[in-house]
Structure 1
């Protein structure tokens, strides 16, 4: 339940804002908390000598009370998502329409491209985490490893934002557009401690480590299914004079021993191709949920 008492400090304002956004997307809450604190602290810096309560009261008319800011963010989110969402494919009621209609969904091809790209990003993330951890931890005994470890964890938060943008653009899952919120009213030692104790720091490390095996699987599945289905679709070309295509099924050289089966192979290739597109889109949705759970802070003020 929201506290109707006007906030007397920035942490109180942020807590009320978080409560007003209860039930909203965690990524939206993270953005709202970051923006609010950034604005309030800039106003506090421009008005030296005034207390936080006085500054908050003075900017309430321009920035808004927590409940008003929450409503603005919710309304803006709907407008932004509507503007950014790709055109929805025409609804299809028949089974065949839904099966072949996957080709008209832009998210299908974006998910497929993400699966191919994930091999490169997975290799980079895995290498960065393993190298950063091993180098910084090995140098902790000579003290220089401590600032290196702090910088490494800072870089992990930055990379999580980059990955979040890829996930949101390609997979359609709402991800944070601002850095992870941290209570900047605390001193720098406390904030460093928060970074090490924040569960999202470690879940982000886990995400970047598992991206390598996931990337290998995604890339292999995509390339294998596309090459197999497209080669089956093109099987009838083996009947053209001058073309020597090898089409083997169950140990049979179909162009030589059973050319009448080539059209059936082509039809099977079409079915496999569209089934693969459904699989790509489904994997994209699944990975978006994985990224949301591991990279986004829960919608709770702390």
Structure 2
């Protein structure tokens, strides 16, 4: 009995206090994990509170502590689950390669390489859409601000930005392997509407997300051009000598210079090797861009713990 009273006394008495304790218990964890844990905890506690209208927040927290857990216990569960999930989802690690040639050519055996390459090609379409949406949303909201419906339009636009942020986060996590949030941005739903709207306006991630979407257009163009040029040029260098070897006529021209002529077979192996090397260099560039862009998306789309 005394142990039970001590346990209940140690529990937070309000949902915001519970969430604050959970956030502190998750200190040092991935910000995306913290966002998911806070959202899930608030969603669960407020649904329990709604189902028990005669109980206070303290009574609801005490009642669900045995099933859902205290903040420290929930934090430990999320840490353990994250390790398990990430281990299950992570592709098998490639066999360690000690030689320089092994590391150079081994990039072709890594699934993440092709996912990053596909992201580079996809980023042109997503970049155009994100850029258009932000420019249209800001301009339309600013134009409507002179009317009384301008504020609701702006709030809806900010809400759409947060939804698109989740969509982009899922794309980044699946293709680039960077852990991103799987739940919407945490906000204290017990606050008055005006305070929640104010928090949305002053939240740095509201603006950094829009900046990210604007940057996606030039980045998407650059990624797409690099991927297309790298793949098309390298594959052309590989295919042209093979085609000539099997009797194709003509020549291969680059910037006005005939690199492979029908009557210059001595150049065919050199061009073929150059194409292979360029292809693997393109794959390495794709891996590097994928890693860097994943960090950029994490920094600009995920709310750091210091802002909670």
Give the TM-score category using the shorter length. Answer: over 0.9
Structure 2 runs not aligned, ≥5 long: 1-8
Deviation at 1:52, TM superposition (A): 1.0
Deviation at 1:257, TM superposition (A): 6.1
Deviation at 1:253, TM superposition (A): 4.8
CA–CA separation in structure 1 for the residues paired with 2:56 and 2:140: 44
Deviation at 1:88, TM superposition (A): 1.8
Instruction: Give 1:131's match in structure 2, choosing from 133, 136, 157.
Output: 136
Instruction: Indicate whether 1:166 and 2:171 are aligned.
Output: yes
Deviation at 1:301, TM superposition (A): 6.5
Deviation at 1:148, TM superposition (A): 0.8
Q: Over aligned residues, Cα RMSD in angstroms?
A: 1.5
Structure 1 runs not aligned, ≥5 long: none
Match of 2:276 in 1: 270
Instruction: Indicate whether 1:217 and 2:222 are aligned.
Output: yes
Instruction: Indicate whether 1:238 and 2:249 are aligned.
Output: no
The answer to whether the Cα contact below 8 Å between 1:18 and 1:301 also exists between their aligned partners in 2 is no
3-state SS in 2 of match to 1:186: coil
CA–CA separation in structure 2 for the residues paired with 1:179 and 1:9: 22
The answer to whether the Cα contact below 8 Å between 2:124 and 2:220 also exists between their aligned partners in 1 is yes
The answer to whether the Cα contact below 8 Å between 2:230 and 2:279 also exists between their aligned partners in 1 is yes
Match of 2:29 in 1: 24
Deviation at 1:91, TM superposition (A): 1.5
Deviation by residue 1:226-279 (Cα, 9 ceiling, x = unmatched): 011111112312243243342447724531563311101110111111111011
Instruction: Give 1:294's match in structure 2, choosing from 282, 294, 300.
Output: 300
Deviation by residue 1:132-153 (Cα, 9 ceiling, x = unmatched): 1101110110122211111000
Of 202-211 and 233-242, deviating more is 233-242
Q: How many residues align structurally?
A: 299
CA–CA separation in structure 2 for the residues paired with 1:78 and 1:245: 55
CA–CA separation in structure 1 for the residues paired with 2:168 and 2:276: 33
Deviation by residue 1:168-192 (Cα, 9 ceiling, x = unmatched): 0000000000000001110111111
CA–CA separation in structure 2 for the residues paired with 1:253 and 1:264: 10
The answer to whether the Cα contact below 8 Å between 1:30 and 1:180 also exists between their aligned partners in 2 is yes
Dislocated runs of 4+, deviation >3 Å: 247-250
Instruction: Indicate whether 1:255 and 2:261 are aligned.
Output: yes
Match of 1:193 in 2: 198
The answer to whether the Cα contact below 8 Å between 1:232 and 1:266 also exists between their aligned partners in 2 is yes
Map 1:85-100 onto structure 2 (within 5 A).
85-100=90-105
Match of 1:84 in 2: 89
Match of 1:111 in 2: 116
CA–CA separation in structure 1 for the residues paired with 2:248 and 2:280: 30
CA–CA separation in structure 2 for the residues paired with 1:245 and 1:5: 80
Deviation at 1:6, TM superposition (A): 2.1
Of 254-263 and 121-130, deviating more is 254-263
3-state SS in 2 of match to 1:92: coil
CA–CA separation in structure 2 for the residues paired with 1:135 and 1:253: 53
Instruction: Indicate whether 1:206 and 2:200 are aligned.
Output: no
Instruction: Indicate whether 1:66 and 2:61 are aligned.
Output: no
TM-score for the superposition, normalised by structure 1: 0.95
CA–CA separation in structure 1 for the residues paired with 2:297 and 2:260: 45
